[in-house]
């Protein structure tokens, strides 16, 4: 009975609890006020330093360790961050209150990630790991030399914080994080969608990085390409050999990269071939416009931020920028300008080793205009001539567009194709005009006869010494006509002597 009489009354318990709750609310309110005042009075950079020092002070008393995984490691993307994001997308539970949901126009599935401040709990081999998404905004002022004004640039710094008991630090670094990376690679391979990256802006338009992407939903494959079968097989074998030779490149001391030069007239399928290569290898494409860049340092920043297992494409390399031959004086070439040496240094210099399993593709309509330094092996390892349409290419196009393997007009069409210059794009355009094979092929025959007549007119002008435009003079068939004419003149000259 004495024990019961010594217990506090219900009223005193409730009053004590109410007082404690009120005190807790007051403390919470004071902390909130202090945070608000500090955010208004103390600059953000100083706040971060103070919080960092306080974190270290109280961290010594804590049994938890925190690993900070930033999105970017200098200029390059942090692969641990990327893979962690993919892995965590499979660990989202109903207890999470806020999620970020997005979907690109051509994506099939929603992209779901945790929002700022949200946490995901994961159990691995009996150890409890906690992930938190952290995002901080910052501003930087710079002077714009063109407008003579001071501008402000906003950017975001995104990171993942991984916390766990300190005693499991070795386990987290040697086992758990490698498991996360490997699992993410498997997930990405299962759901791989080829991306096409293009240049954004340097002020963080794409969440802190210079590249923005869309899904590459291009239907081109090696099966549908209207190119020489022998050349097609040679290229496919070269690609297969490249992706399987990681240890070979390491053994011989070369960067794991490969360069391809695609050259030929417009409309011969250079862009379609690039898409077919990307679809075949499941490599992302980075489409780089050199005209948007002003210096070698900008070029390095962009190229270092590209991912492994990707294709870097620079189309119309002869037209995109005035890359002068190095004979004009390399001592004037600095990082303040975009130079040929700067580009070459990334293709096969020291910077070329900053990444693995990368393919570089240049395209041009005029191979003869390129600096020889760009063309040597080790830079452009394989030169692929995308020619005018051939009889074999026509048969592939007829199969793709009309779903036929033979027709009474095939012989006539193939004979005309061997005689005139017509691109695969021009043939495809004629085949698209009607789904009826008879009508479609008759239209193609008429178009080829028209080209044949135009060719005869141009040849007669050339033979008679009439005016011929420079583009026609440089065409292979007109060059052949010129050679025959010179040969006949030479024979007549010998007869006179």
Residues in Cβ contact with 119 at an 8 Å cutoff, skipping those fewer than 6 apart: 96, 130, 131, 132
Phi, psi of 271 (to 5 degrees): -65, -40
Query: Do 217 and 360 sit in the same domain of this protein?
Result: yes
Would you state the structure tokens that stand for residue 398, as one six-digit string?
A: 């007829």
Question: Tokens 């001539």 sit at which residue?
Answer: 385
Q: Report the C-alpha gap between 35 and 58 in whole angstroms.
A: 18
Distance CA 78, CA 401 (A): 44
Please state, in angstroms and rounded to a whole number, the distance separating the CA atoms of residues 385 and 383: 7
The 3-state DSSP class for residue 338 equals: coil
Position 115 scores a pLDDT of 79
Tell me which residue has tokens 């920028």.
321
Residues in the chain: 497
Per-residue pLDDT band at 291 (split at 50, 70, 90)? confident
Residue 61 lies in a domain: yes
Question: What digits encode the pLDDT tens for the residues 339-395?
Answer: 888 888 888 777 677 778 999 999 999 999 898 888 888 889 999 999 999 999 999
pLDDT recorded at residue 19: 63
Given pLDDT bands bounded at 50, 70 and 90, which one contains residue 281? very high
pLDDT, residue 328, reads 45
Instruction: Examine the domain organization and report whether 291 and 163 are in the same domain.
Output: no
DSSP string, 184-239: HHHHHHHT---EEEEE--TT-TBTTBSEEEEE------TTT--S-HHHHHHHHHHH
pLDDT at 15 over 80: no
Predicted local confidence at residue 324, as pLDDT: 46
Residue 251 is predicted with a pLDDT of 94
Residue 150 banded pLDDT, cuts 50, 70, 90: confident
Q: Give the pLDDT band (50/70/90) at residue 443.
A: very high
Residue 18 forms part of a structural domain: no
In contact, 129 and 110? CB cutoff 8 Å: no
Decide which of 158, 191, 224 is a domain's last residue. Answer: 191
Query: Domain check: are 283 and 355 in the same one?
Result: yes
DSSP count for the chain of H helices, then E strands: 19, 15
User: What are the C-alpha distances in Å from 184 to residues 73, 81, 97, 455?
Assistant: 19, 11, 24, 58
Residue 287 lies in a domain: yes
Would you state the pLDDT for residue 496? 46
**DSSP label of 109:** S
Alpha-carbon gap, residue 294 to 297, rounded angstroms: 9
Contacts of 436 (CB under 8 A, 6+ apart): none
Segment 397-411 shows an average pLDDT of 96
The answer to whether position 273 is within a domain reads yes
Whether residue 231 is found in the same domain as residue 360: yes
- Domain final residue, candidates 332, 353, 385: 385
Q: Which of 355, 385, 415 delimits the end of a domain?
A: 385
Same domain (yes/no): 341, 441 = no
Half-sphere exposure of 186 (CA within 13 A, CB side): 8
**Residue 442 CA: distances (Å) to CA of 79, 409, 428, 450, 462:** 55, 8, 14, 13, 30
Question: Which residues, at least 6 apart from 474, have a Cβ–Cβ distance to it below 8 Å?
Answer: none
Backbone angles phi, psi at 465, to 5 degrees: 80, 15
201 vs 111 pLDDT, higher one:
111
Condensed to tens digits (0 to 9), the pLDDT of residues 17-27 reads: 556 556 656 65
Q: What is the CATH number of the domain that holds 308?
A: 3.40.50.300
Domain that includes residue 298, residue range: 211-385
393, 422 in Cβ contact below 8 A?
no
**Is residue 299 domain-shared with residue 378, that is, in the same domain?**
yes
Q: Are residues 412 and 337 in the same domain?
A: no
Is position 392 within any domain? no
Say which residue, 3 or 426, is predicted with more confidence. 426
Do 465 and 364 lie in one domain? The reply is no
* Residue 224 and residue 303 in one domain: yes
The mean per-residue pLDDT over the stretch 176-181 comes to 95
Whether 276 has a pLDDT exceeding 80, the answer reads: yes
Are residues 430 and 335 located together in one domain of the fold?
no
Domain count, the chain: 3
d(CA 397, CA 411): 15
pTM: predicted TM-score of the whole model, two decimal places: 0.64
Kindly tell me the burial class for residue 476, based on how many C-beta atoms sit within 10 Å of its own C-beta (0-12, 13-18, 19 or more): exposed
**pLDDT for res 89:** 86
Same domain, 107 and 251: no
- 84 occurs within a structural domain: yes
Q: List residues bridging with 215 in a β-sheet.
A: 195
pLDDT tens string 304-342: 888 889 999 999 998 865 654 444 444 444 555 788 888
Per the domain annotation, does 92 fall within a domain?
yes
Cα–Cα distance for residue pair 448/326, rounded to 1 Å = 45
Please indicate, yes or no, if residue 396 is contained in any of the structural domains. no
The pLDDT value given to residue 325: 46
380 and 428 in a single domain? The answer is: no
Helix H, strand E, coil C: the string for 15-29 is HHHHHHHHHHHHHHH
Interatomic CA distance for residues 481 and 3, integer angstroms: 120
Residue 465's pLDDT is 59
């Amino acid at each position: 009975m004495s024990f019961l009489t010594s217990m506090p009354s219900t009223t005193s318990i409730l009053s004590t609890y109410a007082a404690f709750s009120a005190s807790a609310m007051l403390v919470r309110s004071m902390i909130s006020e202090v945070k608000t005042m500090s955010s208004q009075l103390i600059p953000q950079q100083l706040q971060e330093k103070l919080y960092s020092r306080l974190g270290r002070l109280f961290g010594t008393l804590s049994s938890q360790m925190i690993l900070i995984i930033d999105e970017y490691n200098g200029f390059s993307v942090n692969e641990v961050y990327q893979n962690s994001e993919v892995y965590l997308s499979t660990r989202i539970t109903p207890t999470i209150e806020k999620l970020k949901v997005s979907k690109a126009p051509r994506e099939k599935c929603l992209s779901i990630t945790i929002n700022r401040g949200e946490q995901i709990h994961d159990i691995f081999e009996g150890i409890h790991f906690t992930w938190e998404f952290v995002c901080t905004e910052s501003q930087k002022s710079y002077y714009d030399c063109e407008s003579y004004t001071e501008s402000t640039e906003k950017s975001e710094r995104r990171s993942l914080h991984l916390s766990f008991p300190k005693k499991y630090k070795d386990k987290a670094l040697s086992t758990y994080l490698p498991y996360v990376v490997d699992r993410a690679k498997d997930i990405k391979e299962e759901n791989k969608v080829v991306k096409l990256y293009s240049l954004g802006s340097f002020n963080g338009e794409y969440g802190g990085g210079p590249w923005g992407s869309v899904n590459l939903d291009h239907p081109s494959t090696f099966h549908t390409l209207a190119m020489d079968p022998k050349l097609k097989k040679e290229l496919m074998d070269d690609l297969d050999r490249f992706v399987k030779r990681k240890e070979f490149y390491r053994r011989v001391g070369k960067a794991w990269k490969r360069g391809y030069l695609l050259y030929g007239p417009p409309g011969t399928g250079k862009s379609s071939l690039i898409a077919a290569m990307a679809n075949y290898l499941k490599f992302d494409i980075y489409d780089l416009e050199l005209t948007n860049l002003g210096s070698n340092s900008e070029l390095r920043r962009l190229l270092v931020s590209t991912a492994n297992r990707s294709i870097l494409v620079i189309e119309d390399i002869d037209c995109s920028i005035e890359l002068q031959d190095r004979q004009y004086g390399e001592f004037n070439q600095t990082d303040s300008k975009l130079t040929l040496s700067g580009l070459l240094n990334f293709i096969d210099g020291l910077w070329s080793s900053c990444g693995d399993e990368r393919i570089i593709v240049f395209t041009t309509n005029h191979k003869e205009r390129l600096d020889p330094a760009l063309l040597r092996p080790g830079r452009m390892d394989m030169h692929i001539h995308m020619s005018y349409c051939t009889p074999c290419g026509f048969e592939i196009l007829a199969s793709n567009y009309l779903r036929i393997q033979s027709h009474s007009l095939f012989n006539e069409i193939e004979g005309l194709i061997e005689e005139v210059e017509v691109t695969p794009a021009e043939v495809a355009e004629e085949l698209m005009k009607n789904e009826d094979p008879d009508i479609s092929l008759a239209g193609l025959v008429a178009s080829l006869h028209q080209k044949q007549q135009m060719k005869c007119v141009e040849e007669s002008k050339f033979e008679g010494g009439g005016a011929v435009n420079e583009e026609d003079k440089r065409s292979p068939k007109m060059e052949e006509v010129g050679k025959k004419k010179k040969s006949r003149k030479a024979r007549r000259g010998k007869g006179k002597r």
